[in-house]
Amino acid sequence: MKDRLEIFFRKKLTEPQKKEAWNTPSDEIWEMARPHFEVKRKRRRRIFIGLFLLLFAGIGTVGWLLLNDAENPPAAEVSKNEIRKDIASRDQGIKHMSPSERGLEDEMVMESPIPTQPMPVPQPAPHSVPALKSHADRSRPIVEMPVFAKQAGVAPYSQQQQRFATNMEERIEHRAALKKNSLESLPPLQPVLEVQPETATIAGPGLPAVKHISPDNRFAVRVFNVPLVTAFSSAQDMNFGNPVNVSHSFGVGAEYAIHKHWWLGLGVSVLHLNSRITYSGSQNYDATTEYYFGGGMMANDVSFQTTSSLGERFLTATVLRSNMEPIPQGTQLEARLTSGHRLTYFNLPVVMLYRRNLGGKFSVFGGGGPGFNWLLAERLEKTGKVLHQDKPMEVIAMNASSGHIETKNWWSVDAKAGLEYRFRQDVSVYSSFRFKYGFTPFLSADDIYVKYREAGIALGLRYAFY
């Protein structure tokens, strides 16, 4: 309830005032303040435009690639019966023989349509001039499959480097595995010729691997966990104690192959930052700041301060004495105050990665990209004690001032490089070195730009939709 004094002052001081000399600021103040917010706007706008252009360029590239894929839709699902019919139609008149039937134990039958024209029947020669006989007129024995294949211009089996399916079932399986291409477009004699182990996705029977990037196997998802060591820094001196900052990041991400080696990734992660600072120092006791606390206790707001390096947070300790015995003015007090500051951010990074297979199960990758960090939560922990002549004094929890956090929202740039090991066809584990550089693109109330640096080893699991 307001008393008369309060009402009087409030009424007098809040009613509109006429412009007079005493209550009108000089123009100098305006002239000094104005450049501050003008410069800031321009700088911020430039940074935002740059980052958005980068983001739009990335989105545009992905969109363009997706549209290109949409123009060449994947073939419809082909049943094994259809494959069987197709193979039968291509193999008209050709008897499939097993290698043992043909006496070629180590050879295999070509999986391909072989010329189906009727076999030439030997005719008696009209002339008896062997030298003038045409090639077609020459008598020849009834040939078996290998020779027939030779006539079709196919190299002998023994000289062929590629090996193909030996029977109908295997051929059907093989075709079914290659169903992403339509049967019409499937090369008749060369089901697979280009082999690149690093992008290998489909391994048919007898085939090492097939280079095949399609919309179905361009995606990968990953889960990562990054323990890091971090540091915030700013132009403002924050040498209150020794900060030990530890951070931890956990998140998920998705990647999309925009090229053979290039992957565009988008991640979502939660970043925890912990700063723990211990202040140890002494101060002369100021008796004039002492006041009666209640319950026979004297209190004193001792102005020891700790400041978290994660932002501006001043912590002061309030000392309570249960006895009324006065402490002489100027007595030295020893204080050990520890303040913990924990910030939780929502992190949204966009990365461009270059991934290259080393020939086996190992791949190397590297890349980076921009990100944005939103403050989700903040928690302060305060412990400490104040000693008077080696005797601990009772200290109530320190009070934190509600000054703004320098690092509320900030931009960041990630750079990473690492090694990936594929222990299954589609699952791999990776480890990478990650460096994150963060910054606030605008001046804080204290005219400082806050910078953030962290370095750590990321451990992750990656699943690719092969």
Q: In the complex with another protein, which residue's Cβ is closer, 3 or 194?
A: 3
Six-digit token pair at 362? 């190992």
Q: Is 290 in the site for another protein (CB under 8 A)?
A: yes
Q: How far is CA 442 from CA 55, 450, 454, in A?
A: 20, 9, 20
Q: Would the CA dihedral through 316, 322, 324, 330 be positive or negative? A: negative
Cα 151 to Cα 394: distance, rounded to the nearest angstrom: 104
Question: For residue 164, which of 180, 175, 149 has the smallest C-alpha distance?
Answer: 175
Q: In the complex with another protein, which residue's Cβ is closer, 26 or 134?
A: 26
Query: Using the 8-state DSSP alphabet, how is residue 288 labeled?
Result: G
The number of angstroms, rounded, from the C-alpha of 285 to the middle of its chain's C-alpha atoms is: 53
Q: Is 250 in the site for another protein (CB under 8 A)?
A: no
Q: Is 442 in the site for another protein (CB under 8 A)?
A: yes
Q: In the complex with another protein, which residue's Cβ is closer, 396 or 461?
A: 396
Residue 234 beta carbon to another protein: minimum distance, rounded to whole angstroms? 14
Contacting another protein (CB under 8 A), which of 26, 92, 100, 134?
Answer: 26
Query: Using the 8-state DSSP alphabet, how is residue 21 labeled?
Result: S
Six-digit token pair at 339? 């303040």
Residues in contact with another protein, shown as a per-residue x/- string from 314 to 333 under the rule CB under 8 A: xxx-x---------------
State the CB neighbour count (10 A cutoff) for residue 271. Answer: 24
Q: Is 299 in the site for another protein (CB under 8 A)?
A: yes
The answer for residues whose C-beta is within 8 angstroms of residue 160's C-beta and 6 or more apart is: 110, 154
Contacting another protein (CB under 8 A), which of 8, 56, 374, 465?
Answer: 8
Residue 441 beta carbon to another protein: minimum distance, rounded to whole angstroms? 13
Task: Identify which range of 37-45, 108-116, 134-142, 262-270 contacts another protein by CB under 8 A.
Answer: 37-45
Exposure class string for 351-388: b at 16+ Cβ within 10 A, else e = bbbebebeeeeebebebbbbbbbeeeebeeebebebee
Task: Identify which range of 19-27, 268-276, 277-285, 374-382 contacts another protein by CB under 8 A.
Answer: 19-27
Contacting another protein (CB under 8 A), which of 4, 95, 135, 391?
Answer: 4
Beta bridge partners of 245: 275
Contacting another protein (CB under 8 A), which of 38, 101, 137, 216?
Answer: 38
Q: Is 173 in the site for another protein (CB under 8 A)?
A: no
Binding site for another protein (CB under 8 A): 2-6, 8-10, 12-17, 19-20, 22-26, 29-30, 32-34, 36-38, 40-42, 288-294, 299, 301, 303, 314-316, 318, 396, 399-404, 442, 445-446
